[in-house]
Homo-oligomer: A and B are copies of this chain.
Amino acid sequence: MTQQNTSSSFTLRAVGQVRSALTDLATAPRQADEGAPPAWLDFDPAVADALAGIQPGDEIIVVTWLDRADRGILANHPRGDASRPRTGVFGTRSPHRPNPLGLHQVRVAAVEPLRLQVDGLEAIDGTPIVDVKAVLDADVTRR
């Protein structure tokens, strides 16, 4: 395979979307531990087989595409707090970044055909889902 270069681009396809009582970006919590409600993840029938084996109680990482983010912002004041120094977005969890991927570690509460209910998710209703992954020990033991 030829060497990649940084002008490469790739096509990400939504595999589902978030269904949540959160509909307003302005009032949504910034992080899941700040009062985010349960949500449903609705999946496209085309990816049904990819959900096989996921059980209530599983910890998963949901990857979303934060489609309302500003991809041109490279640095900002963390949490919009002007008293905090401007920081490059790669050192933060700002939704605004060149590729606005959201990572959400959640616990599966219920499993239905083509749907998973999860605990506290801060993404708003309609947010596209692009991937779901198992949590590894390596994600949580390396601090």
Contact = CB atoms under 8 A, between A and B. Distances in A.
Interface of A: 1, 3-17, 31-33, 42-44, 47-54, 58-61, 63, 65, 67-68, 74-75, 85-93, 97-99, 101, 103, 105-107, 126-128, 130-140, 142-143
11 contacts: A6-B17, A6-B128, A9-B14, A10-B67, A13-B98, A47-B74, A53-B85, A63-B101, A99-B130, A105-B138, A139-B140
Nearest to A130: B99
Contacts of A87: 52-53
Question: How many subunits of this chain does the assembly comprise?
Answer: 2
A136 B67 CA distance: 22
Contacts of A132: 90-91
A44 B97 CA distance: 14
A89 B4 CA distance: 25
